[in-house]
C-alpha cells in the first residue's frame, strides 16, 4: 500500500523549532479546516470511517499515535511521532487511530469543511462504495 508522508522543513535555531505549512506549497490541497484530537483516553481507538471526497494531512505535533489505513484491499499501520511529519490520507481510505500516548496531540489539516454526508461510517458500506468506483 502506498504511504505518502510529507517531511516539513524545521526552522530550528537556538531558541527552538518551528514548522510552517503552506497550502498547495507544502501540501497538495487548500486547507479549509484544522482540527486536533488531544486528551485522548488511554486505550481508546477512534476514527472507524472513510471519506468520499475529503483529503487530510495528519500530524502528531506532540506525543505519538498509530494510524491504520485500509484501502479495501490492503492495510497498513503508520506510527506518527514527529511534529515535522505529515501523513497524507486520500479519500476512500478507511482509518482508525489508536495507541495514543498520554500527551498526544494529533492535528489534522483538511481539504473541506465538516460535512457528515462525506463520511462512510460502516465498513461494509465502504467496501461497496469503493467497488462501485472501480
> What secondary structure does DSSP assign to 27-69, as a single string?
BSS---EEEEEESPPTT--EEEEEESS--EEEEEEES-EEEEE
Residue 49 is a catalytic residue: yes
Residue whose C-alpha cell is 494529533: 106
For residue 81, the minimal CB distance to ligand TYD (Å) is: 18
Beta sheet of 105-110, edge-to-edge order: 5-7, 85-89, 56-62, 105-110, 33-38
Of 94-133, which residues contact ligand TYD (CB under 6 A)?
A: 114
* Candidate segments 31-39, 55-63, 66-74, 82-90, binder of ligand TYD by CB under 6 A: 31-39
C-alpha span between 127 and 72 (Å, rounded): 6
Per CB under 6 A, 66 contacts ligand TYD:
no
Q: Which residue is nearest to ligand TYD (CB)?
A: 46
Per CB under 6 A, 47 contacts ligand TYD:
yes
For residue 12, the minimal CB distance to ligand TYD (Å) is: 30
Residue closer to ligand TYD (CB basis): 33 or 66: 33
At a CB cut-off of 8 Å and minimum separation 6, what does 125 contact?
A: none
Q: Which residues bind ligand TYD (CB under 6 A)?
A: 33, 35, 37, 46-47, 49, 114
Q: Looking at the annotation, which residues are catalytic? A: 49
Amino acid at each position: 500500500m502506498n504511504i505518502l508522508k510529507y517531511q516539513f522543513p524545521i526552522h530550528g535555531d537556538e531558541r527552538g523549532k518551528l514548522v510552517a505549512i503552506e497550502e498547495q506549497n507544502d501540501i497538495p490541497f487548500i486547507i479549509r479546516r484544522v482540527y486536533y484530537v488531544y486528551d485522548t483516553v488511554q486505550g481508546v481507538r477512534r476514527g472507524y470511517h472513510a471519506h468520499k471526497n475529503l483529503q487530510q494531512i495528519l500530524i502528531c505535533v506532540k506525543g505519538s499515535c498509530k494510524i491504520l489505513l485500509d484501502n479495501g484491499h490492503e492495510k497498513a499501520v503508520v506510527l506518527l511521532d514527529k511534529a515535522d511529519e505529515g501523513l497524507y490520507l486520500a479519500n476512500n481510505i478507511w482509518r482508525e487511530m489508536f495507541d495514543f500516548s498520554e500527551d498526544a496531540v494529533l492535528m489534522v489539516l483538511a481539504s473541506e469543511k465538516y460535512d457528515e454526508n462525506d463520511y462512510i461510517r460502516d465498513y461494509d458500506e465502504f467496501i461497496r462504495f469503493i467497488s462501485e468506483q472501480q
